[in-house]
Structures are given as structure tokens and as C-alpha cells.
A and B are shown apart, each in its own frame.
Chain A
Amino acid sequence: MFRWFHKLASLKNFYRLAEILLPWLAAICAILLVVGLYRGLFVAPTDYEQGESYRIIYVHVPAAWMSMFVYVVMAFCSAIFLVWKMKLADIVAEVSAPIGAAFTFLALSTGSLWGKPMWGTWWEWDARLTSELILLFLYIGYMALRSAFDNRRTAAKAAAVLALVGVVNIPIIHFSVEWWNTLHQPASITKFDKPSIHISMLIPLLMMAVGFKLFYIVNMLSRARSVILEREANTAWVTERVKENRL
């Protein structure tokens, strides 16, 4: 187990592993996204309450799930990096941040698009939209802090501390926003949480969720490979690969 862990932690091995995995993962991801979107947008039945506009959940819900998932991955990698000084964990956290921010932005914008026909307004101070907005701020702060340092080692450690502080605060922020929301707003808004969802709607949603997760992994791996090349530019294995023209 530990040997496997050490092997993976070496940037060279990770680079190679990502190289092998990437085309397969990308293919599965593409199939899932295409089939999931088709089944969600054309095959799944129309909702009797919300009509066709409910179909935005096939993008909105997976994006919202991913926005939180990626932050947790970032915090988890930051903890590993701070404790074991594992370079790979820092790279994964670094390249995950912009992807997570993009998912958060996607969740926010699709939520606002859904809000226009449903609530009659582009923006409603709904608890979930507000927490999602604050999550976007946390991502922006993380990326801003990382890019502010000239020294990469210091940047990595400072960003890791911030990610951990952020992940401790996310539940607190979430519940306080929910509390604030119930206090200030009459419960007239129909929320998204339906107790049950029909199986023909659920299957495309799950396909999209898995597809989004794979999309993140594919994106993260290919970004991580670029960062590895950049950081290891002076090592023998990179020079060799450059010579053989296979990067």
C-alpha cells in the first residue's frame, strides 16, 4: 500500500499514469455527457409543475455538487501537502481551484437562468444561491493568494492553510446563510428539493453527475501534467521526453 503510494507520489510516475488514463477517461466522459444530455433534454418527461425549464437541473445540479466536491478535494490535498509535504497533492490542489471556481460559476449562472421563469427574477437571495456565491468568493480568494507570492513554496503552503480554514468555515457559512434566509424571507419560494424524483429523470441526472466528475478528473489530470512538466523542466526524464518529442 505504502509503496504504491510512494510510487504514485513521484511526479514522473504520475505523469505517465495520467498519460495512460487520460484518453480512456475522456472518452467515457464524452459518452456520458452526450447520452446524459440527450436523455435529459429530449427523452425525460416534462415536469408537471415547472414545465420544460426544469431541464436545467441536468447542468445545474451536477455543477453545484462539483463546486463543493472540488473544494473538499482541494482542502484534502492541502492537508496531505502540509503534513507529508507531498508535491503531487499541492499540484492537484493548485490545478483544481480554477476548475472548481468554473463549476461554481456555472451553478450560479444556471441557477439564475432557472430563477427567471420560476421566480420571475434573475437573482433571488435564496440560501443556496447565496452560499454558492460565497463559495465563489472563497475560490477567488484562494487563487488570488496563490498568485500573489513570488516564491512557489511559500505560495503553496499559504494557500494550503487558507484552503483548510475555508473548508472549516464552509458549513458554518452555509448554515448561517440558511438561518439568515429563513429569518428574512417568507417561505413563498418553491425550492428545488423535491422529496422524490421519477426514475426516468433520475437516470440522466446521475449520468450527468458522473460525467461532470469525470470531466473534472480529465481536466485536473491534463492541467496537472502541464504543471508537472513546468516544475520538472530541469530533470533528466523531462529532457529525455523532449528529445524524443513525446510529451
Chain B
Amino acid sequence: MLASFIALLKRDLTLAARRRGDWLNPLAFFVMVVTLFPLGVGPDGDLLREIAPGVIWVAALLATLLALDGLFRADYDDGSLEQLILSPQPWSVLVLAKVLAHWLITGLPLLCLSPLLAVVMQLPAKALPALLASLMLGTLTLSLIGAIGAALTVGLRRGGVLLALLVLPLFIPVLIFGSSSVIAASQGFAIEAQLSLLGALFMFALVLAPMAIAAALRISSE
């Protein structure tokens, strides 16, 4: 089981390394969305500092959403998804490998890029650990929840907008706790409560989401 998990992970990472656009484009999108805000609301440092946590978090959420559409698409189109479903390994474990690979190629680079955007948005340096920790837990959870929507819409020709409709309401708790932890940190308050709740959401999604994703993929590839 572990061997097949690792094999699938490796396969997805290799594929991603060969198709750079898949993971570079959402990153460029993330940077551009954040850049739009100073242009939209004006270069006033105090205002930017105040809205920075929310802006960075919403941009990260939208970038995750953008990357989600391609999560199962290629495998669905070339038929390898059906082969995976038919394999004797537990399907929800394989699904988890795919989601983890997806997070490694979209969530992790986003995490690495976020300090840069924090500087651009005038976020105080003391909020940086909170931003990284909350984005780490948050994007993992977003990938898990979003994969349910991606699995449900993979069989549809134009699933992109529909995917957004399905998963954005489900992203709200993660957004609330994620951005509020950064806000609290930038004002010098403790952030244990927010991070614990984000961790709880992650654990909850880790246990339940793979089952829902597996069921949804079975339905979509019927």
C-alpha cells in the first residue's frame, strides 16, 4: 500500500516537473492578484498593512482554486484514472497520494512565495511565522476540500466556474481562521487558538475528504 502510494506520488511529481505551466501559472496568478490591490486601493502603507492578511489569504485561496481544475483532468482524459480505480490498492489512499502531490507542486511554492508578498503588502515581520504556519495548514486543507469539487466536476466539459461555486463556500472556515491568525499576529496577540482550529480542520479533512473524493471520482468516471 505504501509502495503504491509513493509510486503514484513520484509519478505525479515527475509529470508536474515536465509540465511547468501547470504549477507556474497559479503562482504567477497569486503574485498578480496581490499586486492588483495596491493599484486598486492606493499605495498608502497603513491601509495596505491593515488589509494585507486578508488579501494574501484570499489570493492564495483563489490560486489554489485555479490549480484545482487540473488536478484530475489529465488522468481523466487519458484514461489512467480508470486504471487507478481498478487497481487492487485502497482507492482513497491513492487519492490521498494524488492530493499530496498536487499540494507539493502548488501549495508549497505558494507558501515559499508568500513572504515576498508579505513584504510587498507592508505586513510587519512579526506576522511572518503566523502567515507561513497558517498557509501551510490552510492550503493543505484547501487542497483536500477542493479535490472533492474537482472530482465531482472532472467529467464535465466546462467545470471551472462550477468548481468555484461548489468549493468556495466550503473554503470559508479556512479563510476565517487563516487570515485572523495573521491579523492577530500582526497586532501582537497569541495565535494558538487559530492555529489549533486550522489544525483541527486539517485533521478533519484528512480523515473524511479522501472518502468523498474517492466516491466522487468513481461517480465521475462511470
Interface positions of A (Cβ within 8 A of B): 82, 134, 137-138, 140-141, 144-145, 148-149, 153-154, 157-158, 161-162, 164-166, 168-169, 172-173, 176-177, 179-180, 183
CB atoms of B201 and A172 under 8 A apart? yes
Which of B168, B177, B204, B215 neighbours the largest number of chain A CB atoms within 10 Å of its CB?
Answer: B215
Which of A140, A158, A169 neighbours the largest number of chain B CB atoms within 10 Å of its CB?
Answer: A158
Given A144-B162, A145-B162, A148-B156, residue A177 in contact with residue B172 (CB < 8 A): yes
A137 to B168, CA, bound (A): 9
CB distance from B143 to the nearest CB of A (A): 15
Given A172-B201, A176-B176, residue A149 in contact with residue B156 (CB < 8 A): yes
Nearest residue (CB) in B for A82 is B215
CB atoms of B168 and A176 under 8 A apart? no
Given A138-B169, A141-B165, residue A161 in contact with residue B177 (CB < 8 A): no
A180 to B215, CA, bound (A): 32
CB distance from B125 to the nearest CB of A (A): 23
CB atoms of B162 and A134 under 8 A apart? no
Stretch at the interface among B65-73, B79-87, B115-123, B147-155: B147-155
Nearest residue (CB) in B for A184 is B180
CB atoms of A148 and B162 under 8 A apart? yes
CB distance from A199 to the nearest CB of B (A): 38
> Inside 8 A of A172's CB, which chain B residues have their CB?
173, 201, 204
CB distance from B198 to the nearest CB of A (A): 10
> Inside 8 A of A141's CB, which chain B residues have their CB?
162, 165-166, 169
Nearest residue (CB) in B for A138 is B169
A162 to B153, CA, bound (A): 11
Chain A CB within 8 A of B220 CB: yes
> Inside 8 A of A162's CB, which chain B residues have their CB?
152, 166
CB atoms of B152 and A173 under 8 A apart? no
> Inside 8 A of B208's CB, which chain A residues have their CB?
168
Return the contact of B180 from the options A161, A164, A180 (Cβ within 8 A): A180
Number of interface residues of B (CB under 8 A): 27
Given A161-B152, A165-B148, residue A176 in contact with residue B212 (CB < 8 A): no
How many A-B pairs have beta carbons closer than 8 Å: the answer is: 71
Which of B176, B204, B212 neighbours the largest number of chain A CB atoms within 10 Å of its CB?
Answer: B176
A148 to B208, CA, bound (A): 25
CB atoms of A173 and B215 under 8 A apart? no
Given A148-B162, A179-B176, A180-B176, residue A173 in contact with residue B156 (CB < 8 A): no
A165 to B168, CA, bound (A): 13
Given A154-B222, A161-B152, A180-B180, residue A173 in contact with residue B169 (CB < 8 A): yes
**17 pairs, A vs B, C-beta closer than 8 Å:** A134-B169, A134-B172, A137-B165, A141-B162, A145-B153, A154-B155, A154-B219, A158-B216, A158-B220, A162-B152, A165-B170, A166-B170, A173-B169, A176-B176, A176-B177, A180-B176, A183-B180
> Inside 8 A of B201's CB, which chain A residues have their CB?
172
Given A145-B152, A149-B156, A177-B176, residue A161 in contact with residue B166 (CB < 8 A): no
> Inside 8 A of A145's CB, which chain B residues have their CB?
152-153, 162, 165-166
> Inside 8 A of B170's CB, which chain A residues have their CB?
165-166, 169, 173
New A-B pairs, 16, CB < 8 Å, besides A145-B152, A173-B170: A137-B165, A137-B169, A138-B169, A145-B166, A148-B153, A154-B155, A154-B222, A157-B219, A161-B152, A161-B215, A164-B212, A166-B170, A172-B204, A173-B172, A176-B173, A176-B177
